[in-house]
Amino acid sequence: MEEEKKIAKPILARLQEHFDILIPRNLFLVNPDVKLKKVHKTYGSNSVKDSISIAFKIFVIEDQYICEYFLNADGYTEHRRYNITTNRTEMLDNFEGQFGAQAIEDDDMDYEEFTRIRKHNDKVRKMLIKKGFLKK
């Protein structure tokens, strides 16, 4: 059985600072029990502003600590990769049409665009499920 490598406290602290900027008044998401390659989830509650939930996973690529996460704030989502070592963030594939997505009657959106968004969102959902960020 492979020994689980501890993540250095300064790395965990840097990730917590990143989450603090994203989620004001958040719960302490990053603790010493956070493991590499394991999905950690914190669901929204009254303690978290606007019932924001987050799922994240930390892994190492070429000696750099990377955190991928999926943030959900009452239906508005962000899927990102944060390089903890270099303090750089990049957006990953995310859902489209999040603002008013339920309104297919929207005069500004034709059927082809609606269908394209639907197919894209189905693909993103499958990817997020595979990563462990969403349930089936």
User: Over 70: is that where the pLDDT of 111 sits?
Assistant: yes
Per-chain mean pLDDT for the chain = 84
CA within 13 Å, CB half, 60: 10
- Closest of 50, 59, 57, 60 to residue 22, by C-alpha: 50
Contact criterion met (CB below 8 Å) for 70 and 77 = yes
Q: Give the 3-state secondary structure of residue 62.
A: coil
Q: Which residues pair with 82 in a beta bridge?
A: 67, 89
**Quick one: average pLDDT of 85-98?**
93
Instruction: Tell me the whole-structure pTM to 2 decimals.
Output: 0.83
Assigned token pair, 51? 């019932």
- Closest of 48, 66, 64 to residue 56, by C-alpha: 66
pLDDT of residue 1: 45
pLDDT of residue 49: 55
pLDDT tens digits for range 46-64: 455 557 788 999 999 999 9
User: Long-range CB contacts (< 8 A, 24+ apart) of 96-103?
Assistant: 96/120, 96/121, 97/121
